Structure 1
């Protein structure tokens, strides 16, 4: 069983620092104002260590990982 994980943003906390896109450039891009644009698909398991690092590094702790339901 796998538990697909997705990335979420607490939009009230995000201040568009852009660090998430620097740490996960293959999954997060920035819009024209510097806010993250997130994929709607689960993260590949090989990306999870970098995704955990990105959530810990967010200056406002706005980036969250959400484990999915077992498949």
Structure 2
């Protein structure tokens, strides 16, 4: 599974990082930055919650 980020859609709300701090970090302005593209099986639920929490659909999960 992969977590993908469309950085042009990110508005810096930071909600994604609350659900998956091991996958997403925030830059100095609060915009999302992926730590890892590949998601380990143990983190799949967190990755889905992370993507679902984004109000601008900047994150998505892909198999």
- How many residues are aligned here? 63
Deviations along 1:31-68, whole A, 9 cap, x unmatched?
1111112124411101111111111111111111122x
Change (3 A) 1:40 1:49: closer
Name structure 1 gaps, 5 residues minimum.
none
Q: 1:17 aligns with which of 4, 10, 13?
A: 13
TM-score relative to the length of structure 2 = 0.84
Q: Over the residues paired in the alignment, what is the CA RMSD in angstroms? A: 1.4
Q: Residues of 1 paired with 2:23 and 2:33: CA distance? A: 9
TM-score relative to the length of structure 1 = 0.76
Name structure 2 gaps, 5 residues minimum.
none
1:48 equivalent to 2:44? Answer yes
Bigger radius of gyration:
1
